[in-house]
Amino acid sequence: MFPLSDRPDRGRLWIKSKLGLTLLDLGVDPSESAPIRLIESAGKNGRYVTLSYCWGKAKFLKTTKDNYTRHKQGILFADLPRTFQHTIRVCRALGVRYLWIDALCIIQDDSQDWAAESVRMADVYQKSFFTLSATWGDSPDCGLFQDFDTASESRIGPVALRQVVHPTLTHITHHENEFPVLTRGWCYQEHLLSRRILYFTMWEVMLQCLESTICECGSSIHKSRGTEQEKYKQFFCCPEDQHPASPSATSPDVASNFWHVTVSDYTLLRLTYSSDKLPAISGIATVIQRKTNWHYLAGLWRETLLTDLCWYVWPPPPAPPNATSSPCGGKPQKQRRKSPTWSWITIPHSNCIHYQAALLSFYQKMPIHLTLHASILDAGCTPPSSMSEVHSGFIVLECYMQQIPLTMMQALVMDLTQGLALDEGLDTPLEEGPFYLIPMVAYVSGDEWFKYTGYTALVVTPAEEGKDEMVRVGLLICHVNPATGGKPGTYKIWERAVNGKKVRIRLI
């Protein structure tokens, strides 16, 4: 049996909470014939479990406008897919009466209900007793429990030992056959926001809480998880009245780096619909907003906007099927991604978003000093502060600006560490300029033995001829060689820009 915690003060926490969600009431009768009802739990106190799973392509029972009233009257156990059935069995065995499953607790064909509930994910997962993760299944038909052939025969021969791979909070794809749920964008915040996760993997059951991890094989019993994201989870993703954050954990620098690394992890993962980019991370954004009182702008933050703008796509995105030429040759078709181009949410593909400064300070533990070379005069989105949908956005910058000759664009192509990282790849159709460089942030990190100096600048082009608006094209990154002190050729463009006069531009 897994303990909730080996500390008595932690074990008593979160046993019951004030409910206020649409939940499945499993009743007190453990039999499979017992009714399961959809209820509005406002005014009730109790414990509920949340389920994290892959939807896949399977067709299964969901709550819709047509069956909502029937689901409040009762849902047959036999009508549910295996993963839901197994989850109900686990809940009843543990004495938990209430269950939250998105497919059943959100009216799936009601856009208003879906929008309202999708931005409540922070509360849904933070306040749940634990999250049950159907880790090995790629659809709700798979279930939680593996069906193994128990037949055996006596024989003498070689024995092979296999190391059990354990899931972690960091969602990586190199074990996707064993942990398909960890490749899904929606499941990222479900796991990050949950105070306890009960993983049902292909080989064993594993329990992870804020303070320790324990599994059936016994090889991963330890007090803390290995990634930086997991170490900060307890500060950012736990209700303040139950696990107060330390002052240093919620400092602007730490909060900003936490968000940058979260975006990098999240954008590696898969979403069925690109329109889900904001909703599927809205729970984490809500937590950051509550901790900092910052203002949200399409996946970025008003209070740290200059550094938030310094994202880049790596590896470079592939050429779209309708690309006819590169931005450095020929006359391409006129094609722009939607506003706000300054936000990573408008990248129309699944590529990892990186922040160079965050990689140094968050992962490599290097002290870092930033120098800002631009100022934010105004910024906004439509609708304002939306966690789920953005139609347009703008930023008014006071900044240096230097034109980059079209012939130089190809020479600035990004390699592994520096150069020009184009947001939509080299073969994405773009107008033939003009292109401008806007210095944003210079950073110095390291110590007297190793010093890393880098520079980042936006690369923009006019939105439309005759209009005083700019759209983002990419990010220029250059750094000084830490061993020799040598500066790359790209630094000359930066230096020329910051020795000029500042101008005001509107970026859309």
pLDDT in tens, 431-446: 567 899 999 999 887 7
Over residues 365-408, the pLDDT tens digits come to 667 788 999 999 999 999 988 888 899 999 999 999 999 877 77
Among candidate residues 263, 292, 321, the one where a domain is terminated: 292
Q: What is the pLDDT at residue 212? A: 78
Judged by average pLDDT, the poorest of 19-33, 136-150, 235-249, 319-333 is 319-333
Q: Do 237 and 317 reside in the same domain of the chain?
A: no
pLDDT of residue 444: 84
Pairing relation of β-strands 451-462 and 419-422? unpaired
Q: Are residues 237 and 344 in the same domain?
A: no
Among 95-109, 121-135, 139-153, 168-182, the least confident range: 168-182
pLDDT band at 336 (very low <50, low <70, confident <90, very high): low
Do residues 484 and 342 share a domain? Answer: yes
Q: H-helix or E-strand containing 105?
A: helix 102-105
* Domain closes at, from 292, 326, 344: 292
Return the pLDDT at 104. 97
Enumerate residues 6+ apart whose C-beta is below 8 A from 345. 277, 278, 298, 299, 390
Residue 196 scores a pLDDT above 50: yes
- 359 in the same domain as 425: yes
3 state DSSP class of 215:
strand
Residues 286 and 307 both lie in one domain: no
| 184 and 105 together in one domain | yes
The per-residue pLDDT for 119 is: 80
Domain's final residue, options 270, 292, 314: 292
pLDDT per residue as tens digits for the range 163-185:
455 555 454 454 556 788 888 99
Is there a domain that residue 3 lies in?
Answer: no
| Residue 331: pLDDT band with limits 50, 70, 90 | very low
Based on the fold, state whether residues 307 and 409 are members of the same structural domain: yes
* C-alpha to C-alpha distance for 98 and 39, rounded to whole angstroms: 10
Q: What is the mean pLDDT of the chain?
A: 80
Assigned domain for 2 exists: no
Mean pLDDT on 205-233: 69
- Co-location of 373 and 273 in the same domain: no
Tokens of 187: 């499941």
**pLDDT tens digits, residue range 229-287?**
666 666 666 665 555 455 455 577 788 888 998 999 899 898 888 888 999 999 999 99
More confident residue, 336 or 165: 336
Closest CA to 308 of 413, 395, 200, 410: 395
Report pLDDT for 217. 74
Rounded Cα–Cα distance for residues 71 and 83 (Å) = 18
Same domain, 83 and 120: yes
Sequence-distant (≥ 6) Cβ neighbours of residue 237 within 8 angstroms: 126, 192, 193, 194, 195, 284, 287
Q: Are 429 and 332 in contact (CB under 8 A)?
A: yes
The verdict on 222 and 115 lying in the same domain is yes
Tell me if 160 is assigned to some domain.
no
Domain count along the chain = 2
Least Cα distance to 343 among 381, 293, 384 occurs for: 381
The answer as to whether 298 is a domain residue is no
98 pLDDT higher than 90 = yes
Smallest Cα–Cα separation from 118: which of 282, 238, 285, 262?
Answer: 282
Residue 336 sits at φ, ψ, to 5 deg, of: -125, 145
Identify the pLDDT of residue 177.
Answer: 63
Q: How confident is the model at residue 458 (pLDDT cuts 50, 70, 90)?
A: very high
Q: Are residues 260 and 337 in the same domain?
A: no
What whole-number distance in Å separates Cα of residue 152 and Cα of residue 336?
Answer: 62
Any domain includes 152: no
Strand, helix or coil at 14? coil
Q: Are 53 and 141 in contact (CB under 8 A)?
A: no
- pLDDT above 70 covers what percent of the chain? 73
> Is residue 493 included in any domain, yes or no?
yes
**pLDDT surpassing 90 at residue 503:** yes
> Which residue segment(s) compose the domain that 381 sits in?
303-507
Residue 443 falls inside a structural domain = yes
Q: Is residue 489 located within the same domain as residue 388? A: yes
Residue 314 banded pLDDT, cuts 50, 70, 90: confident
Q: Would you say 377 and 396 are in contact if contact means Cβ atoms under 8 Å apart?
A: yes
Residues for the chain: how many in total? Answer: 508
pLDDT band at 223 (very low <50, low <70, confident <90, very high): low
Predicted confidence at residue 347, as pLDDT, reads: 87
